[in-house]
Structures are given as structure tokens and as C-alpha cells.
């Protein structure tokens, strides 16, 4: 006899169709089981946690009311989508999330028909949902729902989409999942009742009927319209959305599943752009996560009873910690230094700095474009802005970097975290492209440190240059090199020869690949160069070494196309040097999720793969004999 499962209802749900066959009275039990399942499962393998706990009831209600996957449900970012994965046939595979060959960390179209749009970066859901709604209006009978968090709503792209959607005659529902740490005073029985009334058929009929009658009397119609907006604005924060063309409903308690189902049923049948404001609590149902949702955003494995997060031992500080300490040290020396981050305080290592120098710390929320141009404006007036930003998030501010910073040659420093392969967050977060898209920009200096101390000195160098400069460094720990407390600027554009070899093989490595190449240089008796500066290149050294070696291998944690290896190739050709060259880097495909080691192996950039590639290529007869 099998032991009883602690999740009897949840284990019977293999698709939303199974959920919709349940009576509404059982949905609270489903939600409770789903929340326990998330706690039990994520505690074993880690992953995005607090956001998903906050959307349990909303997810259950959405799949209960809407005919998914025929009706399209578009999640923003995807941190909150673990409950969605559980209810859409992936319950038993949740333990594999972020692992090689396992579930993706975010919704992705190739994984499930219920994942209608691939996400990972924020603020895309309304635009994507609007595109789907426009397509649905061409004869397809389906409803379109976008779920966006209050953090993602801070990005300009979300408001661009709202502005466009409100001007079109399309049927779509935008749900604002407002998961602030406190629930507003107007959330409760009365406001839930008010939301149901505003979304009900009687109110909608009266509202539309009044519009038709009063629109024939322009003066009276304008008075009525203003009166309606004024009354709703007195008790609801939705006037801005009404002005953008949406019918605003809410706020509603996102943990009252009865109110959610009733309101969503009403909204499902309403025409035109609808906006539902839902208040949830991050970490709902797990006390440690409710008390500190930032800490519990994406924990590793933990003990669900004690709330102790198990930490892996590390040989040295993470690069983000190196950056954070440098920021504090530099701020003591330079009163004009300011920090800017697009909602990445914790991830970028700026917690201590933000406490010690609050008047010189600017978190602009999820607004990468604004962050870069804000820094440009500060630089115009003599400040020394340092923008802490992830490699993949910098992609979203490329025009601002070119037009507002580089074109004006402004002294803005970019501290680019998560450069290279990041592991479990997968293809949406792999920092594979920054060397390629940055080195083509005029006026910009581009550096990549081989270790923690070099990172510290490069950051100092960048600020001292008084021109656009970027330092790109990887996620996680460095090789454990001791950091020198005294900061010294590195000679601009000068590489470092780490080993002189006698075999005729020249290895030029970039950033985090340099320590890995130390033993490879020993094995192949090769000369090893730490490039340091991708732009400007140390052309003098590269040309000299090319003339004294028979073959060249470049190694970088960036795509081969347009990367540092390409820059070296261009340099040699410009100086008339033609030599056998092997460029190793991230191949021309997206590297999916797994551990960092898995990702390096998939890209052919783990030590064994690099060694094998060099062995096969270098030992070819033409190069072996010179």
C-alpha cells in the first residue's frame, strides 16, 4: 500500500484542464498544496522562490478561469512562474530546474505550449501580449492575459506598450502583480467587493450605455467622464491607466482566491483593454521569505524548518564583492564618485556602499536605458558615475551607450557583472556578447581582468581615464588572488606576458580564461599572454610575438564572432602578418542552462575541451614541423 501523499489534489493535476474540472470550493486547498510543494521542492535544489510563493493563488485562478493554452497567458520576467510550471504538466520535473537537461529557469516556448512567450528579461509581457491580441483579432477566438510585476512596470518599455494598447480596439487583460512587502489599506473585503462591482456586467453595461447616450451631448459627456475618473481616482490608484485607455479594476487581494476567480470571470468577457491591479505578498506562506523577500528571491538549497540556507564553500570573494569593496574604498578617495544601478543593488555588491554613501547611490529601478543616460548627464556636470550593470542587461541600453556616452566622450565607467557564462539562469542571462558589441564603439576603453586584484586595479584605471570605460568580469569567485589595498592605474592598452614558451605556440587569453590557460601553456610549452585590454589592443606586443611564433590560439569567454580574437586577427592582418590562428570562444549558438561547468563544456571552453582543441590543431603536421 502506497503512503498517502501530502498533496492529494495537486498530484491529480497534470494539466490546467484537470484543475478546471474541480469545484471552485477546492481551489484554496489546491493553492495550499501548491505552496507546500514549492517550499519542499525548492528547498532541495534552490531556485527562484519568494516571487513564486506570492503568485500561487493568482496562478491557480488564471488557469481555472481561462482556457489555457488556447487563451494566452504571458508572464513577465518569469521569476514568479514556478507555480505555472507545476500546474502545466511539469510538476514532477521541477526538481530539475536550472540543471543541465532539466527545466528552464524561465518560461520558454520550446519547453511547453503553455509558455506562450520566452522571457527572462523584464517588462516585455505587455508588448508581447498586445502583439498576440492584435493577431487574435484577426478571427481567432482566444483571450490574452499579461502578468507583470510592479518592479517590471518601472521600465519604459512597459509604458510604451500600455500607451499603444490603450489606443487600439483590442481585447486584452493586463494584470499588475503588485508584490510590495506591505498590503495597502484599501485591500480587503470592501475593495474586493468594489473590484467585482467594477468588473461586473451590470456596471459595464451601464458604463457603455451611458457613453453612447452622453457622447451625443459633448458638454455633459465631458462632465460625466471627468466625474467618473475623479470618483475612481479618489479611492483607486488607477487614474493613470484609465487615461492611457484601459479600464482599471482593483486593487484586489491576490491571495483571496474567491475574489480572484469572480473578478477574472467578469474580466474574461469584457471587451477592450482591461487592467487588473492585484496585491500579493512576496514569500507568502513561508515566514522567512515574507520577512526578507530579497534574501529569498533566489536562494540555494535550504532547510525548510529552520530557514537556514546552505552555502557552498568558496576559495575567494565573488567579483561582485570585489567591486563593492572597491566602490567603498574609491568613494572615500573621490567625493565626485557616484553609483548607479538598475535594480541590481544586491547582485552587484552595492549593499554596503548604499548604506555608507546613500546620497551618492542611485537605484533607478528596472530602467537600463535611463541608467546610462543619467550617468551621461552626471558626467557632463563633473561627477564620476559608475554604472553597475549585468552584461545581458547592458544590451538593453546600447543606443544610450553609443549616442549619449561614447559620442560625447563622457567619463562614464561601466562595471559589467555576469560577463561570460553564468550557469543556471541560462540563455537569457549568459553574458556572451559584450566584448563584441562594445569593442566596435569609438572612444570606449574595454578591459577584462584575469583575477580579483586585476579587477580592482582596472576599475580604478577606468575612473582615472576620464573617458568612457568598461570593465567586464564574471559571475562568482575568482582564482583567489590577494587584492592589493593600494590602487594603481594600469598602463593603457598594455597586455601582460605571463609565460615565455619555446614551442612556437602563442596563447592569448582574455579575462577569466587566463588562469585556466596557465597549465595549458605549461603543457604545450607555449607563450601565454593576458590580454587585459580588448580595446585598445597592445598592437606592438601582438605584432612582435606574431613574428617570433609559428601559430596563435586566442581564448575568450565571449562569442567568437566579433570578439577579442577577431580584434587580434584584424590587427595582424593590418600589419601584414598571416599565421595559423585558432579562435576559441562561445560558438554561434545559445548556451542553455546548467552549472557553470556544464555551460563551459557545452561551449567548448572547459579545460579539457580547450586542451583537446589545441592538441588536435597544434599537432597537425604543418604546424608541428613549422
Q: What is the pTM of this model?
A: 0.87
Asked if residue 359 belongs to a known ligand binding site, the reply is no
Helix (H) or strand (E) holding 64: helix 56-65
Q: Helix count (H) and strand count (E) of the chain?
A: 27, 17
Catalytic residue among 35, 72, 91, 396: 396
Catalytic residue among 91, 282, 467, 535: 282
Q: What are the residues whose beta carbons fall under 8 Å from the beta carbon of 615, sequence distance 6 or more?
A: none
Please report the sign of the dihedral spanned by the C-alpha atoms of residue 379, residue 381, residue 384, residue 389: negative
Per 3-state DSSP, the chain is made up of helix, strand and coil in percentages (nearest 5) of 45, 15, 40
Asked if residue 120 belongs to a known ligand binding site, the reply is yes
Do 389 and 375 touch, CB atoms closer than 8 A?
no
Cell of 312: 557552498
Asked if residue 363 belongs to a known ligand binding site, the reply is no
187-213, pLDDT tens digit by residue? 455 446 546 655 665 555 545 554 554
Asked if residue 563 belongs to a known ligand binding site, the reply is no
Cell of 394: 547592458
Higher-scoring residue by pLDDT: 221, 513: 513
Higher-scoring residue by pLDDT: 608, 238: 608
Separation CA 450–CA 431 (nearest Å) = 16
Separation CA 270–CA 174 (nearest Å) = 13
Helix (H) or strand (E) holding 471: strand 469-472
Separation CA 473–CA 487 (nearest Å) = 18
DSSP-assigned states of every residue in 404-423 = IIITTT---EEEEES-B--S
pLDDT of 214 over the 50 cut: no
447-478, pLDDT tens digit by residue? 999 999 999 999 999 999 999 999 999 998 99
Helix (H) or strand (E) holding 28: helix 27-45
Q: Do domains 10-284 and 319-472 have the same CATH topology?
A: yes
Closest CA to 368 of 353, 345, 390: 390
pLDDT confidence tier of residue 241, bands split at 50, 70 and 90: confident
Separation CA 503–CA 403 (nearest Å) = 46
307-316, pLDDT tens digit by residue? 888 875 555 7
Separation CA 1–CA 391 (nearest Å) = 53
User: Domain 319-472, CATH 3.40.50.970 — does that match?
Assistant: yes
6 CB neighbour count, 10 Å cutoff:
11
Separation CA 411–CA 382 (nearest Å) = 9
CA angle 524, 584, 427 (to 5 degrees): 135
Q: Is 282 a catalytic residue?
A: yes
What is each CA distance from 576 to 11, 562, 571, 579, 621, in whole angstroms?
68, 20, 9, 10, 24
Chain centroid offset of residue 89 CA: 25
Say what percent of the chain tops pLDDT 90. 70
> What phi and psi, each to the nearest 5 degrees, are found at residue 283?
80, 10
Catalytic residue among 33, 368, 452, 557: 368
Q: Exposed, middle or buried, 121 (CB in 10 Å: 0-12/13-18/19+)?
A: buried
State which fold the 10-284 domain adopts.
Rossmann fold (3.40.50)
DSSP-assigned states of every residue in 484-551 = PSS--PPPTT--EEEE--SSSEEEEE-TTHHHHHHHHHHHHT-EEEE--EEES--HHHHHHHHHH-SE
Closest CA to 505 of 447, 576, 582, 595: 582
205 CB neighbour count, 10 Å cutoff:
10
The domain spans of the chain are 10-284, 319-472, 497-619
Name the H helices within 99-217.
Answer: 125-136, 156-165, 189-199, 201-214
Separation CA 559–CA 566 (nearest Å) = 10
DSSP-assigned states of every residue in 436-456 = HHHHTSTT-EEE--SSHHHHH
Asked if residue 24 belongs to a known ligand binding site, the reply is no
Residue range 497-619 forms a domain whose CATH class is alpha beta
Cell of 73: 497567458
Instruction: Supply the pLDDT for residue 340.
Output: 97
pLDDT of 231 over the 90 cut: no
Query: Average of pLDDT values for 38-62?
Result: 91
Asked if residue 121 belongs to a known ligand binding site, the reply is yes
134-192, pLDDT tens digit by residue? 999 887 789 999 999 888 888 889 989 999 999 898 999 999 998 764 333 444 554 46
Closest CA to 339 of 368, 375, 370, 367: 375
73 CB neighbour count, 10 Å cutoff:
28
Average pLDDT, the chain: 89
Asked if residue 123 belongs to a known ligand binding site, the reply is no
201 CB neighbour count, 10 Å cutoff:
10
- List of long-range contacts for 542-549, beta carbons under 8 Å, 24+ apart: 542/495, 542/508, 542/568, 542/571, 542/572, 543/571, 543/572, 543/575, 543/577, 545/506, 546/506, 546/572, 546/575, 546/577, 546/579, 547/577, 549/504, 549/505, 549/506, 549/579
pLDDT of 569 over the 90 cut: yes
Q: Is 368 a catalytic residue?
A: yes
Amino acid at each position: 500500500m502506497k503512503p498517502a501523499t501530502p498533496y492529494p489534489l495537486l498530484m491529480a493535476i497534470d494539466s490546467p484542464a484537470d484543475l478546471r474540472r474541480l469545484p471552485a470550493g477546492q481551489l484554496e486547498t489546491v493553492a495550499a498544496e501548491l505552496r507546500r510543494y514549492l517550499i519542499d521542492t525548492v528547498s532541495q535544489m534552490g531556485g527562484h522562490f519568494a516571487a513564486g510563493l506570492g503568485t500561487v493563488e493568482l496562478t491557480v485562478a488564471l488557469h481555472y478561469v481561462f482556457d489555457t493554452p488556447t487563451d494566452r497567458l504571458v508572464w513577465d520576467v518569469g521569476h514568479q512562474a514556478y507555480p505555472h510550471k507545476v500546474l502545466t504538466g511539469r510538476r514532477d520535473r521541477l526538481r530539475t530546474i536550472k540543471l543541465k537537461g532539466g527545466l528552464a529557469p524561465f518560461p520558454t516556448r520550446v519547453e511547453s505550449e503553455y509558455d506562450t512567450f520566452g522571457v527572462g528579461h523584464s517588462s516585455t509581457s505587455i508588448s508581447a501580449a498586445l502583439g498576440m491580441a492584435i493577431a487574435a483579432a484577426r478571427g481567432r477566438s482566444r483571450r490574452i492575459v499579461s502578468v507583470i510585476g510592479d518592479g517590471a512596470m518601472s521600465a519604459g518599455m512597459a509604458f510604451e506598450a500600455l500607451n499603444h494598447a490603450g489606443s487600439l480596439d483590442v481585447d486584452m487583460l493586463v494584470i499588475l502583480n503588485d508584490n510590495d512587502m506591505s498590503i495597502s489599506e484599501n485591500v480587503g473585503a470592501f475593495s474586493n467587493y468594489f473590484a467585482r462591482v467594477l468588473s461586473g456586467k451590470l456596471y459595464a453595461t451601464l458604463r457603455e450605455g451611458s457613453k453612447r447616450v452622453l457622447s451625443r451631448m459633448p458638454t455633459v459627456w465631458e462632465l460625466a467622464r471627468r466625474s467618473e475618473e475623479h470618483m475612481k481616482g479618489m479611492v483607486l490608484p488607477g487614474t493613470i491607466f484609465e487615461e492611457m485607455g484601459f479600464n482599471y479594476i482593483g486593487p484586489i487581494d491576490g491571495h483571496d482566491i474567491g475574489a480572484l476567480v469572480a473578478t477574472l470571470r467578469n474580466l474574461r468577457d469584457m471587451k477592450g483593454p482591461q487592467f487588473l491591479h492585484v496585491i500579493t505578498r512576496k514569500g507568502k506562506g513561508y515566514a522567512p521569505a515574507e520577512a526578507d523577500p530579497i534574501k529569498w528571491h533566489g536562494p540555494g538549497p535550504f532547510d525548510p524548518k529552520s530557514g537556514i540556507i546552505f552555502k557552498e564553500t568558496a576559495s575567494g570573494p565573488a567579483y561582485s564583492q570585489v567591486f563593492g569593496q572597491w566602490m567603498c574604498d574609491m568613494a572615500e578617495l573621490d567625493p565626485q564618485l557616484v553609483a548607479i544601478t538598475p535594480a541590481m543593488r544586491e547582485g552587484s555588491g552595492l549593499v554596503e556602499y548604499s548604506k555608507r554613501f546613500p546620497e551618492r547611490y542611485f537605484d533607478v529601478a528596472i530602467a537600463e536605458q535611463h541608467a546610462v543616460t543619467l550617468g551621461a548627464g552626471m558626467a557632463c556636470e563633473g561627477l564620476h558615475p559608475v554604472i553597475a550593470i549585468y552584461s545581458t542587461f547592458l544590451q538593453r541600453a546600447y543606443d544610450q551607450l553609443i549616442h549619449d556616452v561614447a559620442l560625447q566622450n563622457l567619463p562614464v565607467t561601466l562595471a559589467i557583472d555576469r560577463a561570460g557564462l553564468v550557469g543556471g539562469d541560462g540563455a537569457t542571462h549568459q553574458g556572451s556578447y559584450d566584448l563584441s558589441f562594445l569593442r566596435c564603439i569609438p572612444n570606449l576603453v574595454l578591459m577584462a581582468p584575469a583575477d580579483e586584484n586585476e579587477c580592482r586595479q582596472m576599475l580604478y584605471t577606468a575612473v582615472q581615464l576620464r573617458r568612457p570605460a568598461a570593465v567586464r568580469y564574471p559571475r562568482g569567485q575568482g582564482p583567489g588572488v590577494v587584492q592589493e589595498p593600494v590602487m594603481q592605474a594600469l598602463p593603457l592598452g598594455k597586455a601582460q606576458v605571463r609565460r615565455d614558451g619555446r614551442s612556437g605556440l602563442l596563447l592569448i587569453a582574455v579575462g577569466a580564461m587566463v588562469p585556466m590557460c596557465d597549465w595549458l601553456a605549461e603543457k604545450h610549452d607555449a607563450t601565454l599572454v593576458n590580454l587585459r585590454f580588448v580595446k585598445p589592443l597592445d598592437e606592438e606586443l601582438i605584432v612582435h610575438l606574431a613574428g617570433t611564433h609559428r601559430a596563435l590560439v586566442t581564448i575568450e569567454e565571449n562569442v567568437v564572432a566579433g570578439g577579442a580574437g577577431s580584434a587580434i586577427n584584424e590587427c595582424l592582418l593590418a600589419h601584414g602578418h598571416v599565421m595559423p590562428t585558432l579562435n576559441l570562444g562561445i560558438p554561434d549558438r545559445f548556451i542553455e542552462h546548467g552549472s557553470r561547468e556544464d555551460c563551459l563544456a557545452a561551449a567548448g571552453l572547459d579545460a579539457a575541451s580547450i586542451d583537446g582543441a589545441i592538441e588536435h590543431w597544434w599537432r597537425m603536421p604543418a604546424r608541428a614541423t613549422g
